[in-house]
Amino acid sequence: MNNLIWLLRASKWARNPPSARMVRLVLAIVALAIAIVVLEKMGWWPDWAKMEQGRAPRPPR
């Protein structure tokens, strides 16, 4: 059933594609996210921007 939803969404985009400005905005956001991940993995992310303590896992029910 989920495939039908994606097919309907794709047909909607084919009839009314997003503008070039929207595509550039989405690509810029994705590039920024990838850059942040790469900087953090290389150890170049500043210490003030890191979390001191992560969120505790939920106990099982």
Position 48 scores a pLDDT of: 86
Give the H or E element holding residue 29.
helix 20-42
Query: Which residue segment(s) compose the domain that 16 sits in?
Result: 11-41
Q: How far apart are CA 59 and CA 32, in angstroms?
A: 34
Report if residue 24 sits inside a domain: yes
Q: How many CA atoms lie within 13 A of 12 on its CB side?
A: 6
Domain membership of residue 17 (yes or no) is yes
pLDDT score recorded for residue 22: 95
Does residue 59 lie in a domain region? Answer: no
What pLDDT was estimated at residue 16? Answer: 95
Assigned domain for 54 exists: no
The Cα angle at residue 8 between residues 25 and 19, in degrees rounded to 5: 25
| Residue-wise pLDDT tens digits, 35-50 | 999 999 999 988 888 8
pTM for the whole thing?
0.65
Instruction: Please report which confidence band the pLDDT of residue 1 belongs to, taking 50, 70 and 90 as the band edges.
Output: low
User: Tokens 């210490």 — which residue?
Assistant: 47
Domain count along the chain: 1
* 27 belongs to a structural domain: yes
On whether residue 52 sits in a domain, the answer given is no
pLDDT in tens, 9-31: 999 999 999 999 999 999 999 99
